[in-house]
């Protein structure tokens, strides 16, 4: 059984088709990185999963049940676009409202526990409108975590978080899925951060799922490259360009050789051409580069 | 591992209880609620005192030279409704309101306890639109597949607020009457029972208005200005009906009429509100 199973989902806003024929599978116990450009249909899909906008076609199943099933929906946590708090109320009052909404028995204790998880217990008495962007985001995640949800749908949860906040969220996400039954769908443009936690990925474009894969699949499909620094970088680049089909300079000033080769082969080749290599390493492209490459291919 | 995922099914009663808990908690934390109750309490005091102070003042029309004598209210009960027609003070429209004739309508027959029906429109519209503006509707509806309890809860909260406003206005009117030394005498066959029935009928009639305001608000969602304009406009169409259905000399028939009407409106419009929520985007 999968946590989320979407078949042929579509959504039209008038004549504009926001999502068309989308298939998506989120296995139980996974952290599903949902990636796509702005306006690709991520948020619309997430809103349909949460039942916030009606679908135009297709089916959504959550834990084997229709997405309109109230028992499954009662065990969902959500953070879409904004945390959904009343500005005039305190963080604690907002949390207590959501606890009442979820019929949590020992609400006060649960609220304090969740606020502690996101390190916001000290700001519980602050009015929500006086919180910073990062604090609001933490409150939003805390609200989503209330009541031990089985499925979390988080849209850009890492926006506005500082380094510590991101580390905490990584911990939180990993703890949530630890038991193997609870799942998280998380969309983010911070692909580097997403790669640190995601176990599965789905890449959407123009409302269609273009690829779904596991983190292992991504690892296997990410091309390896040799990165090096040498004396006379321009000449080195020129020489490498004669022998290898793709040589690029990265932001850190390294020359990257993408063809299948070994560092030894490159060092020997450059040495024969009187160039001394000062640093050399092999690496793999990350999610971000994989995604950019995929988007370029699509174009 | 797969078998360990269990989902609890909540009954309608539990779902409604949790929704009511959210809304009443919010209402009691809302500044607007207290402001409206305070207004409902203070407006009749200020109005009665001011109109009584103006009693007997003469104003001259510069063009016609006609002299109008301001007459204040004669009875405290005029803040609740127009006195029965056989009561001498009510026969002359210019005398009842204390501000002279206003195209056949006196001030007290318009600016009385029935203004609470308009006040509650502001409350219901802002209360519901705040759900959508703050984004809290996303948290609410994600965990609630059914929309019925949302509509019921909002209608009940609006009803309670409206009922409290009516009671506050009643208390304010009594205080205003006492401060202005107005008569509390029940004339024209009026009894305490009639006044109690009148108040109960008005409270039941609140269901009709709140259901309309709820429907307009769930349709307008975050656009508070639209729902307020729509509700006040819609409310004005029914406003004249209030004094006819709930006169000061109301009987059980008036109460029954308001109760049945209120429930029918609440059920009918509530069902429409539910469909509106189901068929439209909630964000």
Q: Strand, helix or coil at A65? A: strand
Least confident of A65-69, B57-61, B243-247: B57-61
- Per DSSP, helices labelled H in A19-79 are 42-49, 70-73
**pLDDT at residue B195, as a whole number:** 94
pLDDT band at A202 (very low <50, low <70, confident <90, very high): very high
In A115-144, the residues whose Cβ lies within 8 Å of chain B are 143
Asked if the Cβ–Cβ distance from B8 to A71 is below 8 Å, we say: yes
Q: Per-residue DSSP letters for A99-132?
A: HHHTT-TTHHHHHHHHHHHTT-GGGTTSBGGGS-
Most confident segment among A4-13, A236-245, B44-53, B142-151? A4-13
Q: Is pLDDT of B207 > 50?
A: yes
Which residue of B137, B145, B278 is in closest CB contact with A70?
B145
Q: Which residue has the higher pLDDT, A39 or B10?
A: A39
Average pLDDT, chain A: 90
pLDDT higher at A224 or B264: B264
| Cβ contacts of A75 on chain B, cutoff 8 Å | 7, 143
Cβ–Cβ gap B134/A181 under 8 Å:
no
Q: Is the pLDDT of residue B95 over 90?
A: no
Q: Are A214 and A245 in contact (CB under 8 A)?
A: no
Position B102 pLDDT exceeds 50: no
Band of pLDDT at residue B221, cut at 50, 70 and 90: very high
Q: Where are the beta strands (DSSP E) in chain B?
A: 58-60, 67-69
Mean pLDDT of A14-25: 93
> Given this model, what pLDDT does residue A298 score?
64
Chain centre distance of CA B2: 53
Give dist(CA A51, CA A68) in Å, integer: 7
CA–CA min distance B227, chain A (Å): 19
What is the pLDDT at residue B72? Answer: 78
Number of Cβ within 10 Å of residue A222's Cβ equals 16
- Distances, alpha carbon A92 to alpha carbons A95, B127, B257, in Å: 5, 20, 44
Window from A41-50, A73-82, B50-59 with minimum mean pLDDT: B50-59
A100 has a pLDDT exceeding 90: yes
End-to-end CA distance of chain B: 35
User: What pLDDT is attached to residue B91?
Assistant: 40
User: So what's the pLDDT on residue B85?
Assistant: 55
Two tokens, residue B118: 């308009």
Min distance B16 CA to chain A CA atoms (Å): 10
CATH of A2-219, picked from 3.30.70.3400, 3.90.1150.10, 3.30.70.1070, 3.40.50.300, is 3.40.50.300
Are A50 and A153 within 8 A, CB to CB? yes
Q: In a 3-state reduction of DSSP, which class is residue A279? A: strand
**What is the pLDDT confidence band of residue B258, given thresholds at 50, 70 and 90?**
very high
Candidate from A279-283, B249-253, B264-268 with smallest mean pLDDT: A279-283
Give residue-wise pLDDT tens across range A162-190. Answer: 888 899 999 999 999 988 889 999 999 88
Name the pLDDT band for B273 (thresholds 50, 70, 90): very high
pLDDT at B89 over 80: no
User: How far apart are alpha carbons B39 and B165 in whole angstroms?
Assistant: 9
Instruction: Using CA coordinates, name the residue in chain B closest to A147.
Output: B143
Mean of the pLDDT values across residues B82-106? 47
Average pLDDT over residues A82-101: 94
DSSP for B92-129, written as a single string: SHHHHHSS--BTTB-HHHHSSGGGHHHHHHHHHHHHHH
CB spacing of B141 vs A51 below 8 angstroms: yes
Q: How far does A247 lie from chain B, in Å, by closest CA?
A: 48
Name A244's Cβ contacts closer than 8 Å, sequence gap at least 6. Answer: A257, A258, A259, A261
Closest residue by Cα to residue B151 from B283, B32, B278, B262: B278
Phi, psi of A83 (to 5 degrees): -65, -15
Band the pLDDT of B107: cuts 50, 70, 90.
low
Residues B190-217, mean pLDDT to the nearest whole number: 95
Distance of CA A294 to the CA centre of its chain: 16
Give chain A's end-to-end CA distance (angstroms, integer).
35
Q: Which residue ranges make up each domain of chain A?
A: 2-219, 222-298
Q: What is the pLDDT of residues B127-172, one digit of tens each?
A: 999 999 999 999 999 998 789 999 999 999 999 999 999 999 999 9
Pairwise CB contact (< 8 Å): A51 & B283: no
Mean pLDDT for A125-152 is 93
Spatial separation of the C-alpha atoms in residues A5 and A167, rounded to whole Å: 29
Is the Cβ of A61 closer than 8 Å to some Cβ of chain B?
no
Q: pLDDT value at position A159?
A: 86
Paired tokens of B180: 């202005």
Model-level pTM? Answer: 0.84
Average pLDDT, chain B: 87
Percentage of chain A beyond pLDDT 70 is 99
Cα distance from B276 to chain A (closest Cα, Å)?
11
Q: Which fold has domain A222-298?
A: Alpha-Beta Plaits (3.30.70)
DSSP string, A10-25: EEEETTEEEEEEEEEE
Q: Provide the chain A residues 171-230 that lie in CB contact (below 8 A) with chain B.
A: 179-181
Dihedral sign from CA coordinates of A64, A70, A71, A74 = positive
For A41-47, what is the mean pLDDT? 94
* Chain A neighbors of B5, CB-CB under 8 A: 1, 28, 63, 150, 181
Q: Which phi and psi (to 5°) does residue A115 adopt?
A: -65, -35
Report pLDDT for A250. Answer: 84
Which distant-in-sequence residues (6+ apart) come within 8 Å of B23 by Cβ? B127, B153, B154, B156, B157
Query: Residue A88 — very low, low, confident or very high, per pLDDT cuts 50/70/90?
Result: very high
Residues of A in contact with B26 (CB under 8 A): 86, 97
Q: How far is CA A229 from the centre of its chain?
A: 32
| A250-278 per-position pLDDT tens digit | 888 899 898 767 888 899 999 999 989 99
Q: Across the strands, what pairs with A202?
A: A34, A212
- A152 part of contact set with chain B, CB < 8 Å: no
- List the one residue out of B139, B173, B133, B126 whose CA is nearest residue B31: B126
């Amino acid at each position: 059984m999968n946590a989320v199973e979407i078949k042929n989902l579509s959504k039209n806003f008038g004549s504009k088709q926001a999502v068309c024929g989308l298939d998506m599978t989120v296995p139980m116990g996974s952290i599903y990185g949902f990636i796509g450009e702005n306006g690709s249909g991520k948020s619309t899909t997430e809103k349909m999963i949460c039942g916030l906008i009606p679908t135009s076609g297709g089916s959504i199943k959550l834990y084997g049940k229709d997405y309109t099933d109230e028992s499954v929906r009662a065990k969902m946590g959500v953070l879409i676009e904004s945390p959904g708090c009343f500005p005039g109320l305190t963080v604690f009052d907002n949390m207590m409202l959501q606890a009442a909404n979820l019929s949590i028995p020992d609400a006060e204790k649960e609220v304090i526990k969740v606020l502690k998880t996101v390190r916001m217990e000290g700001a519980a008495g602050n009015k929500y409108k006086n919180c910073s962007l990062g604090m609001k985001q933490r409150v939003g995640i805390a609200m989503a975590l209330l009541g031990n949800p089985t499925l979390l749908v988080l849209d850009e949860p890492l926006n506005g978080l500082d380094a510590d906040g991101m580390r905490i969220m990584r911990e939180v996400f990993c703890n949530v899925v630890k038991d193997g039954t609870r799942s998280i769908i998380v969309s983010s443009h911070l692909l580097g951060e997403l790669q640190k936690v995601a176990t599965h990925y789905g890449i959407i474009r123009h409302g269609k799922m273009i690829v779904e894969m596991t983190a292992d699949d991504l690892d296997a499909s990410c091309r390896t490259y040799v990165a090096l620094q040498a004396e006379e970088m321009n000449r080195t680049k020129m020489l490498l360009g004669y022998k290898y089909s793709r040589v690029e300079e990265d932001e850190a000033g390294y020359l990257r050789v993408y063809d299948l080769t070994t560092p030894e082969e490159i060092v020997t080749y450059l040495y024969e051409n009187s160039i001394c290599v000062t640093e050399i390493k092999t690496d793999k492209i990350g999610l971000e580069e994989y995604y950019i490459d995929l988007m370029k291919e699509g174009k | 591992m797969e078998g360990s995922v269990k989902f609890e099914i909540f009954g309608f009663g539990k779902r409604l209880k949790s929704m009511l808990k959210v809304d009443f908690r919010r209402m009691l934390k809302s500044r607007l609620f207290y402001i409206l109750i305070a207004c409902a309490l203070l407006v009749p005091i200020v109005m009665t005192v001011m109109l009584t102070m103006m009693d007997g003042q003469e104003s001259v029309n510069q063009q016609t030279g006609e002299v109008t004598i301001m007459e204040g209210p004669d009875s405290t009960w005029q803040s609740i409704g127009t006195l029965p027609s056989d009561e001498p003070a009510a026969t002359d429209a210019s005398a009842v309101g204390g501000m002279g004739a206003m195209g056949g309508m006196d001030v007290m027959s318009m600016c009385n306890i029935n203004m609470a029906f308009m006040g509650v429109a502001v409350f219901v519209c802002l209360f519901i639109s705040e759900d959508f503006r703050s984004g809290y509707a996303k948290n609410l509806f994600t965990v609630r597949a059914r929309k019925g309890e949302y509509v019921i809860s909002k209608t009940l909260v609006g009803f309670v607020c409206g009922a409290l406003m009516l009671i506050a206005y009643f208390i304010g009117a009594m205080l205003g009457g006492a401060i202005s030394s107005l008569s509390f005498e029940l004339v024209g066959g009026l009894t305490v029972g009639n006044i109690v029935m009148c108040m109960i009928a008005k409270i039941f009639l609140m269901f009709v208005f709140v259901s309309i305001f709820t429907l307009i608000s769930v349709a307008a969602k975050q656009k508070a200005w639209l729902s307020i304009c729509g509700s006040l406009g819609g409310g004005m169409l029914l406003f004249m009906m209030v004094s006819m259905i709930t006169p000061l000399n109301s009987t059980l028939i008036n109460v029954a009429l308001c109760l049945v009407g209120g429930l029918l409106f609440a059920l009918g419009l509530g069902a429409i509100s539910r469909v509106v929520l189901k068929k439209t985007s909630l964000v």
